[in-house]
Chains A and B, each alone.
Chain A
Amino acid sequence: MSVKFTKDHEWVKVEGDEATVGITAYAAEQLGDVVFVELPEVGASFGQGDEMAVVESVKAASEVYAPVSGEVTAVNGDLEGEPQKVNESPDGAGWFVKLKLSDKSQLDALMDEAAYKAHIS
């Protein structure tokens, strides 16, 4: 299992041909208290870089982009009632969507943890 990062502060955790996507702890901290997350429908397909979700905090609203192409197989329904999970556990219970990968090679171009840390520092 590997975790990859985008320059737009999404993380992707890949298991087999399924990827779980969320926003990074850095992004969650920068946004402040998250008050709403707008998630896509299960079954929707996105190309890499497409706008997939929206996250809103008390001070900003940001788009969440699909880090890789794929079809949505699950969304984190808990975020509807408990958006604060994005702040509490951005890389765990605060995940956004699961995607069925359509092109695994796209992962190669994403950053690993060390590269992402360098990106945000």
Chain B
Amino acid sequence: MRYLPLTPEDRQAMLSKIGVTSIDALFTDVPEAARLDGPVDLPAHQTELQVERALSKMAAENTPASSVPFFVGAGAYKHHVPATVDHLIQRSEFLTAYTPYQPEISQGTLQTLFEFQTQVALLTGMDVANASMYDGSTACGEAVLMAARVTKRKKAVLAGSLHPHYAATTRTTAKYMDIDIVSSAPDLSGLAGIAELIDDETACVVIQTPDVFGRLHDLTDIAEKAHQHGALVISVFTEPVSLGLVKSPGEMGADIAVGEGQGIGVGLNFGGPYVGLFACKNDRNFIRNLPGRLAGETVDADGRRGYVLTLSTREQHIRRDKATSNICTNSGLCALAFTIHMTLLGEKGLTRLARINHETACDLADRLSSIDGVELVTDSFFNEFALRLPKPAAGVLDALVEKGVLGGIAASRLYPGELEDILIVAATETNSDDDLAAFETALREVL
């Protein structure tokens, strides 16, 4: 049976109603050359088995991250996600949950979001966290908008070592909000050139730690300088596991901490969906200007503990164009995966995981920097570092692929035309000693 959504008579009736003779006449505004004249040349239909075979063949041309020694990071990190996480998030009570407006039917989801917020606040050393944002880069853009609202200022200073994708997203977000974005040049060894950009017009200073080259920064001094000028400090991270070991943004004087949560509980997923983390200090003005949803704990009419979305007047279903954020999407399911993984790890488990990451990266840095002509340029790192190579990094990476090693990200891919000899390398708990040895051997061979 054919499915006929419209009969020719239906079509004709609609066309006559709007005064057009044919369907083609609706497309006269599209230039002739851009129009398709005839059916698309597609292969004939195939059976399910044939399609599966064809697609498997195409998929086999990929090199999956799990199939080779893998050292790619620069914003997305390959960590082990326990099977429990996938099992629990796929339970129908969670998987079917959409925006939990109705506390009557969403207690489980709301409670998890409340726990997620608690975990994010503890991790970042902040007082308040929202129920997640779309991803780390949009959280960064939202943080700049929030700082502009809080300070009533229109200038944001970005560190040059903020992940260029985060910087680009922030510029896009700020573009139509009249916020002036200034950035220092990327500095591989510190935070040169940032303090000079802070003045009494500055709403915020945005610094990533560990930065895109893997370098850790202590924000304490720059936070002091920013606060003297009435500017806020936004601390950004792309690797949440680092927070298990390093000084938290809160301890370093940051006012807002944002970052990517993918590294905990969420796989690489071809680049998404990921989960943005967003936390800030307990200040009335901050909380009123916080973007995104907030789950709160309360009691019901019988005095029993319950959870509801709170402070909703900030949000666009009430505040419309004046809302603190007009990105509808948060990442509820990824936030749930994050929460479950964090809960499984516990505080000690996270610290231990972070320590293994750091030790693996130290081991790898020692191995690779022992190669003639290879220089470790990151003097303080967590699980990612930059190497200066004697040749352009992009070509070296291609040669490494031929040897069956995915060796990282060429800095020139993130900073086109710059830093051509810089290779950014990440190591996690998923890298075995054999992986490290294979990388070292392959790099010796290709250099």
Q: Which residues from chain A sit less than 8 Å from chain B, CB to CB?
A: 35-36, 38, 54, 56-61, 63
Contacts and interface: CB of A to CB of B under 8 A. Distances in A.
A27 to B, nearest CB: 16
A61 B313 CA distance: 6
Contacts of A59: 313, 318
Contacts of A54: 322
Interface residues of B, number: 5
A56 B313 CA distance: 7
A61 B288 contact: no
A38 B324 CA distance: 14
Of A56, A58, A59, A63, chain B has the most CB atoms within 10 Å of the CB of A56
Nearest to A60: B318
A81 B4 CA distance: 63
B319 interface: yes
12 contacts: A35-B313, A36-B288, A36-B313, A54-B322, A56-B313, A57-B313, A59-B313, A60-B318, A61-B313, A61-B319, A61-B322, A63-B322
A-B residue pairs, 8 tightest by C-beta: A56-B313, A61-B313, A61-B319, A61-B318, A60-B318, A36-B288, A60-B313, A61-B322
Contacts of A58: 313
A35 B313 CA distance: 10
B84 to A, nearest CB: 39
A7 to B, nearest CB: 20
Of A58, A60, A61, chain B has the most CB atoms within 10 Å of the CB of A61
Interface string B117-148: 00000000000000000000000000000000
Nearest to A41: B152
Contacts of B322: 54, 61, 63
Nearest to B288: A36
Given A60-B313, A61-B319, 6 more contacts: A36-B288, A56-B313, A58-B313, A60-B318, A61-B318, A61-B322
Nearest to B285: A38
B23 to A, nearest CB: 45
A36 B288 CA distance: 9
Contacts of B288: 36, 38
B228 to A, nearest CB: 22
Contacts of A56: 313
B150 to A, nearest CB: 12
A44 to B, nearest CB: 11
Contacts of B318: 59-61
A99 to B, nearest CB: 21
A36 B312 CA distance: 12
Interface in B266-299: 288
A51 to B, nearest CB: 9
Nearest to A51: B322
Contacts of B313: 35-36, 56-61
A57 B312 CA distance: 10
A58 B313 CA distance: 7
A68 to B, nearest CB: 23
Nearest to B310: A58
A9 B313 CA distance: 20
B287 to A, nearest CB: 10
A54 B322 CA distance: 10
